[in-house]
Structure 1
């Protein structure tokens, strides 16, 4: 039997997934608007969301929903022709929208980092992956050449790459998609950021490797307190790792709340249509297999 928002299991799940009362979010976005075509066409319409320390928050929606533009705004790396026209982006109390490019360099890649869908396109194919990771350790962390190499090999090992010394010496084209994504994660986490934006980071991976990367993100969160924004069109992925979820459609947030509540008792018709589209990929099985919480 399907659950409704008033069912005890849903109420208990929603209560347990909510941030602690009075805790300030690490990231709070309000009134975010993004326009393209020289400002003539608005594609993100006053979006707001927040993420608390240690949370994994999902932002989901179909291609073109505005989720990627919203999150790239948090990094100050909107594509050519796109501009943030309004909105407050508070990160640890500082409005990112007021930063100069010099100030951004102290935030982007250091306190806020990101991994994207196609890791190969973010790595230089002519430079060994170890050297590319070394550069981050030297520039962002300030390590010596020798210390950077040791830190890079240790990072590759921590991210589950077998024979990290060998991987360190390889070129990107010699590695599989899953290995490349782990290398990109190592680069993104080198400076120990507080917030990681994972934008469709598992989309191009096969199911087994996808599960490994999701497990890795969960482990990093548990061991380091990493805060994650997971951008995805795949509700099955979001259901596995996210505490709360925001559903976007055509540049608007149409529903948000604790992941279990949103996925088991969606209030918006669009969210229901997304769930129906994902039925064949196992989301109903995940619901059926999930333990039933009791109201406290």
Structure 2
């Protein structure tokens, strides 16, 4: 049976003898057939991570019963775990400014069911430019302008909307605003950002033009979780594309945007399929 029809069990704890066995033995005891399993034992931070996609052999499977039976086993290892149903769809809020390439890509995948099992209840922007795109997809669009003086009130409204819509994941699809430390702390671990990855590190206005002026030979993008370190949160996935002297600044922008949209969609897919684990300032990504 395909993995998107499976239940997904994900867990992490300290590295202790018997962690794999307690999970797989429990599955076998309760007639839960394992379709896919990945695990990782981090010898540096002494952490254990596991993801199991499974399907019940019978028709009487109940998530609450699973939890009641497994929790005593989890307690032995101080294990945190989650269980995701086959029909679960993460509720995702997208935040965007004026660039539409990442938003367009996510909405296309959402509309066509292309590798993204999500719902998008709302889009939030500090500009009105992309409202028509949201309306075409019949998604509520909240235009929340921001200035230095209105920033606290604007971020308070964002938090209110995220709670009102019961959002599971926030995606910054080129939302070109630096968030306050309080907002970063609020979103820590459940908001994904995308930004360019150029070497050397070109910051500020027109980074691709800066890269062209230095003869850059690659452009790339990084998707990461938000924290209070600007563009330096735990990395989920990255991508690169070779370029050369024949690429003018506008070509670098085009290639960079292509990489950004693919990398962001991949990060969202990994997150919603429960393949990403936070381990301090790093991530563990159990890919299929």
Question: Greater strand percent: which structure?
Answer: 2
TM exceeds 0.5? no
**TM (normalized to structure 1)?**
0.26
Does 1 or 2 have the higher relative contact order (CA < 8 Å, sep 6+)? 1
Q: Pick the structure with greater CA Rg.
A: 2
Question: Greater helix percent: which structure?
Answer: 1
